[in-house]
């Protein structure tokens, strides 16, 4: 087995992905270990160009007009060493009427002092769709800093959905900053689910600007905070076109000495636009807890079940 | 011997006496109704029996299977065999119906899936339509109530308290809910129905009439129902009936 194959096998194994996936010709993939591309395969209509940059990789991804990729593209960003920096620069263009689903696995199973820096610029042209499901697997040492930044432009009638999940291992420090602009009749959905404990720090800033008439946007955040961990969630949704509709929904559960804050900012600059928001911060709901306890679950078991459900 | 005995139970909340000197025996394998108009103290008494937050600081004693349970937590009481079905059950984001019902089933049970499906069928819900749905706001009030009863049936404890089991249930499936309660009785489960609904009271063998935080009469359901209908509903706590007057009226 070549060195690259070994590395590829290491990162896919740590992300619990079946390696058979990467042998299938109809599944595109991109595997990056630290600053090295260890696996790459594109399918018809998808172009992936990679280039080495200091401590990382520049990715240029383009999906040709009208292409609909049936099976999700698998991306894996891993750092197997205990220390180091991984910088990923992603520039993606989804052309008119093209559709793509991406499953991104970010795995840092041994991290003691690892930085994962992501800078992404995404452009969705008219009636394009891009679903990006990002799943993180970290070590239990808390030595990871994850700093993803993204600027997304969602064109007319296009659809952008992102789902960020960090439920396995310690968060360490996470500092998300996503900003999206939506044109006429486009749809935006940004979800983030994070489970923090020990002295983890979670910072999430999600902003959506509904600039086009009839555009839609939902920002949804679920964070559980335990021990001495802290979370700050800043969700901003603005609507400045007629019939733009949006909703901001933030729920944070606090246990032990955790600290949470949520800042929902909603702005409406057009009398025909409408945005709602709801935020719930605090301990586990007493009625939910007592109901499960009345079924025989201990307080700890019931609390875990409620938190797991919230982060599903 | 009763499965649950309460002696001299009183409860104050915010310096106000809510329950007064309750003495009660619940008979094993029978269906009982705790009857009274709104505010009589029925749900409070059931909450005190379950040991819910805010209802634990009672005076008096609660025995379950002859064991004093005052000091036990909710889950300890549940593991002894007591459970409670809320009038408006909690909703859970991300927890499936299957997972929710399964939570009360013994961990070493091998036939979990079969028990869950069977419990749903007993409350007139098709398992294929509900197993993977979340127990969240997308369920109607009636669906949520049925799932609560299904969860209790699956848990199969010896003693069940159901608070207003018919509220939010559509007329078409009320009979199925009544059947589910009869099935519990057949299995030997002891049930305490907390209700002001005459239809629910009629399912009971015994009834306890509550007014202003007191039990003012214990009798068969047949005798309590007409008294409740004629006296308690029009009165709605305005008069404070004397226990002797009530007993006299029952005769």
Write down the mean pLDDT value for chain B. 90
B45 to each of A89, B217, B247, how far by Cα in Å? 63, 15, 22
The alpha carbon of residue A90 is apart from the nearest alpha carbon of chain B, in Å, by 32
Q: What pLDDT does residue A2 have?
A: 57
Lowest mean pLDDT among A105-109, A115-119, A301-305: A105-109
The alpha carbon of residue A233 is apart from the nearest alpha carbon of chain B, in Å, by 20
- The pLDDT of A166-183, averaged and rounded, is 94
B93 close to A (CB below 8 A):
yes
CB A120 within 8 A of CB A153: no
Does domain B2-81+160-250 bear CATH number 3.40.50.300? yes
Over 90: is that where the pLDDT of A49 sits? yes
Q: What pLDDT does residue B234 have?
A: 67
Q: What are phi and psi of A65, to 5 degrees?
A: -45, 130
Percent of chain A with pLDDT over 70: 97
Residue B226: pLDDT band (50, 70, 90) is confident
> Who has greater pLDDT, A139 or A177?
A177
Global pTM reads 0.83
- For the segment B54-82, what is each residue's pLDDT rounded down to a tens digit? 898 899 999 999 999 999 999 999 999 99
3-state secondary structure of B156: coil
Q: Is A296 in contact with B78 (Cβ distance < 8 A)?
A: yes
**The two three-digit tokens of residue B98, written as one number:** 């299957």
The alpha carbon of residue B221 is apart from the nearest alpha carbon of chain A, in Å, by 27
- The pLDDT of A35-57, averaged and rounded, is 95
ipTM of the complex: 0.93
Q: What pLDDT does residue A1 have?
A: 44
Phi-psi region for residue B210, left (φ > 0), alpha (ψ -120 to 50) or beta? beta
Over 90: is that where the pLDDT of B97 sits? yes
Q: What pLDDT does residue B170 have?
A: 78
Residues of chain B positioned with their CB less than 8 A from the CB of A251: 93
Q: Is A251 in contact with B94 (Cβ distance < 8 A)?
A: no
> Which positions 185-224 of B are in contact with A (Cβ < 8 Å)?
none
- For the segment B3-59, what is each residue's pLDDT rounded down to a tens digit? 999 999 999 998 899 999 999 999 999 999 999 888 889 999 999 999 999 898 899
Q: Which helix (H) or strand (E) holds B150?
A: helix B141-155
Domain residue extents for chain B:
2-81+160-250, 91-156
Over 70: is that where the pLDDT of A3 sits? no
CA–CA separation, B92 vs A307, rounded Å?
Answer: 10
Q: For A291, which of B77, B89, B93 is closest by C-beta distance?
A: B89
């Amino acid at each position: 087995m070549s060195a690259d194959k070994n590395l590829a096998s290491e990162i896919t194994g740590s992300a619990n992905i079946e390696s058979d996936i990467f042998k299938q010709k109809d599944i595109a993939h991109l595997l990056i270990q630290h600053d090295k591309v260890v696996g790459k395969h594109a399918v018809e209509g998808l172009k992936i160009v990679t280039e080495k940059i200091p401590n990382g990789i520049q990715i240029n991804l383009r999906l040709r007009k009208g292409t609909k990729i049936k099976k999700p593209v698998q991306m894996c960003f891993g750092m197997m060493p205990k220390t180091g920096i991984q910088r990923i620069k992603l520039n993606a263009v989804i052309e008119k009427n093209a559709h793509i689903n991406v499953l991104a696995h970010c795995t840092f199973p041994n991290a003691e002092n690892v930085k994962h820096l992501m800078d992404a610029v995404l452009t969705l042209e008219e009636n394009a769709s891009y679903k990006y499901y990002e799943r993180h697997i970290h070590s239990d040492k808390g030595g990871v800093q994850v700093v993803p930044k993204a600027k997304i432009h969602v064109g007319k009638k296009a659809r952008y959905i992102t789902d960020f999940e960090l439920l396995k291992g310690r968060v360490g420090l996470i500092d998300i900053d996503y900003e999206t602009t939506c044109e006429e009749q486009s749809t935006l959905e940004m979800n983030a689910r994070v489970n923090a404990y020990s002295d983890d720090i979670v910072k999430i800033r999600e902003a959506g600007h509904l600039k086009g008439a009839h555009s839609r946007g939902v920002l949804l955040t679920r964070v559980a905070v335990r021990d001495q961990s802290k979370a700050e969630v800043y969700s901003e949704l603005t609507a400045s076109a007629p019939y733009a509709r949006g909703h901001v929904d933030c729920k944070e559960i606090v246990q032990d000495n955790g600290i949470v804050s949520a800042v929902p900012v909603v702005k409406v600059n057009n009398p025909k636009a409408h945005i709602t928001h709801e935020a719930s911060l605090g301990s586990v709901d007493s009625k939910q807890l007592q109901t499960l306890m009345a079924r025989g679950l201990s307080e700890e078991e019931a609390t875990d079940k409620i938190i797991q459900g919230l982060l599903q | 011997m009763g499965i649950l005995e309460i002696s001299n139970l009183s409860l104050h909340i915010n310096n106000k006496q809510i329950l007064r000197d309750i003495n009660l025996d619940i008979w094993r394998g029978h269906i009982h109704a705790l009857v009274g108009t709104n505010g009589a103290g029925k749900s409070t008494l059931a909450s005190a029996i379950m040991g819910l937050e805010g209802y634990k600081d009672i005076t008096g004693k609660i025995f379950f299977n002859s064991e004093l349970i005052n000091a036990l937590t909710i889950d300890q009481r549940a593991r002894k065999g007591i459970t409670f079905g809320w009038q408006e059950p909690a909703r859970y984001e991300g927890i499936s119906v299957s997972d929710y019902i399964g939570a009360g089933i013994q961990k070493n049970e091998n036939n979990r899936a079969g028990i869950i499906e069977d419990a749903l069928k007993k409350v007139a819900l098709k398992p294929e339509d509900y197993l993977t749905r979340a127990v969240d706001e997308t369920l109607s009030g009636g669906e949520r109530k049925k799932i609560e009863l299904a969860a209790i049936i699956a848990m199969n404890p010896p003693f069940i308290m159901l608070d207003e089991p018919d509220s939010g249930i559509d007329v078409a499936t009320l009979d199925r809910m009544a059947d589910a309660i009869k099935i519990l009785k057949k299995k030997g489960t002891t049930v305490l129905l907390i209700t002001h609904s005459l239809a629910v009271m009629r399912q009971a063998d015994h009834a306890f009439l509550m007014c202003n935080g007191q039990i003012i009469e214990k009798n068969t359901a047949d005798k309590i129902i007409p008294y409740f209908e004629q006296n308690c509903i029009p009165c709605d706590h305005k008069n404070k009936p004397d226990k002797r007057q009530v007993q006299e009226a029952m005769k």
